[in-house]
Amino acid sequence: MRHRDPNLSENIQRRREVEQTLSQYPNLEPEKIRDVIHWFKREASAMDVAMVANNLDNRDSYREFRRTHIDKLTPVEIIVATVLMMILIVLLAAGAAAA
């Protein structure tokens, strides 16, 4: 016997709510944008994101939202990447000088 997730219908309803919100993008209030960002980062499963991404009705607004709010690097990520690259360059230079 298969066990049913009691939150399944709640998860489906939440995904549909996010899709409805995305259909109105970019004309969203900042609160709605924060809510959708939270959903993508904290609530959505990979399957949820795939289903939203493949919704033909919202494809353009989804792509624009994702490009603007989800896929961009944060200042902390940029700093970490820069520091890691600097360390790599120093290590490579030290290795070349030793050879």
State pLDDT tens for residues 39-51. Answer: 999 999 999 999 9
Vertex 62: Cα angle to 57 and 67 (nearest 5) = 155
- 39 is a domain residue: yes
- 95 is a domain residue: no
- 21 is a domain residue: yes
Q: Give the domain extent around 36.
A: 8-72
**Given this model, what pLDDT does residue 1 score?**
44
- 12 is a domain residue: yes
Average pLDDT of the residues in 62-73: 91
CA distance 44 to 38: 9
How many domains would you assign to the chain?
A: 1
- Please classify residue 32 by burial: count the beta carbons closer than 10 Å to its beta carbon, then call 0-12 exposed, 13-18 middle and 19+ buried: middle
- 25 is a domain residue: yes
**Given this model, what pLDDT does residue 91 score?**
93
